[in-house]
Amino acid sequence: MNHKIVFLDRASLVATLRAPKFAHAWQDYDQTQPDEVVARIADAQIVVSNKVKLSGEILAQTPQVKMIAAAATGTDNIDLAYCREQGIVVSNIRNYAVHTVPEHVFMLMLALRRNLLGWRQDLQNGLWQQAEQFCLFTQPMNDLHGSTLGIVGSGVLGQAVRKLAEAFGMHVLLAEHKGAGTMRAGYSAFDAVLRAADVLTLHAPLTDVTRHLIAEREFNLMKPTALLINTARGNLVDEAALEAALKTGRIAGAGFDVLAEEPPRQGNRLLDLNLPNFILTPHVAWSSREAMQILADQLLDNIEAYVAGSPCNRVA
C-alpha cells in the first residue's frame, strides 16, 4: 500500500525529516489555514500536525484518515474523543524537550530573580555612568539558592526542572492536584505549595480541569515576593488576573512562554505589559535545534510503528 502523508504545518519544525521506511507519498505545507484543512487531507491516510486544529467536524469529512501524528506533546488541537470513537490512531511526541524547556524555565527564573531587565534599563538610562561608586544598588536581587520552588505538574518536564532546581540548592515542593482529598507520597497540598513557593512553575497539560488553574484566588495565596513561570499552556492562567497581580504588586514577577491564543493576531493584554518584572517569549521554550531534531526523529518512529501495525506513543 502506498500511504499518503500530509504535514499541515511543516514550518513549525526546523529539523531534518528522514524518509519513512515504507512506500509513501509525502506532501508538506508550511502553514494551513482552518478553511484549507479538509481539501489538503482529502486523500491522506496519515496526517501530521503540530498546532493545526483537527476537529471531529473536519475528520468526519475525511474518513480515509486513519492516523494523526502529532508533531508535539500537546494534543489539545485534536478531537481525541472523536478519534477514539472512529478508531483513528493518534500518537504524540514524548520527552523530547527534557533539556530545552527546563533550561528556558531557569533562564526566565534567573532573569527575574536577579532583575536582569531592570539592570538593563538602568544602564540604558545612564545610572551606572553617573554613579558615585563602582556599582549600583537600584534593583533588588535575590539568589535561587535557599529559595523554595513549587512545581505544578510532575511529569518528565517537571522532574527535569526539579533536578536543576536541586542543583541550584533550591528546596522543591511538588503540588498535589488542586482540590485533591488525599496526598500522594512526596507531594504537598496545592494551596500549601502556592503559599510557600518563592517561584511557582507550571508543567501541567491544558484540560477542562486545569483551565485557569491559576486565577485571582491563587494569586491571593502567593507571596508578594513570588514569581510565576509558565512554559506549558497559556490558558492554565487567567491572563486578566495575572495582569492585575503584576500591576498591584500581588506577586513580584512572571515569566511566560505561552498565551491563551497563539499567535496573538488580535493582540493580547500581556503583549502590552511593559514591566521590568514580566518577560514574555513567543512559545519557543521547546524549540532548541537539538530538541526539534529529537522530535522529528520520534515523529517518523511513530508513523513507522503505526504502518508496521504496532502503534506507539498513543493518546487515542
- How far apart are the C-alpha atoms of 174 and 149, rounded to whole Å? 9
Residues 223, 226, 76, 212, CA torsion sign: positive
94 is a catalytic site residue: no
Which one of the listed residues 3, 177, 233, 239 is annotated catalytic? 233
Is there a catalytic annotation at residue 262?
A: yes
Record the cell numbers describing residue 53, joined without a space.
Answer: 486544529
Alpha helices (runs of H) in 168-257, residue ranges in sequence order: 190-196, 216-221, 239-247
Angle, nearest 10°, between helix axes 156-167 and 100-113?
Answer: 50
Cα–Cα distance for residue pair 8/29, rounded to 1 Å: 5
Instruction: Decide if 103 is catalytic.
Output: no
Backbone φ and ψ for 53, nearest 5 degrees, come out as -75, 135
As a whole number of angstroms, the distance between CA 20 and CA 169 comes to: 45
Q: Which residues are 94's β-sheet partners?
A: none
SS3 243: helix
Distance CA 6, CA 25 (A): 8
Which residue in 262, 269, 289, 290 is the catalytic one?
262
Residues 313, 233, 305, CA angle at the centre, nearest 5°? Answer: 15
Task: Provide the 3-class DSSP secondary structure of residue 194.
Answer: helix
Query: What is the set of active-site residues?
Result: 233, 262, 283
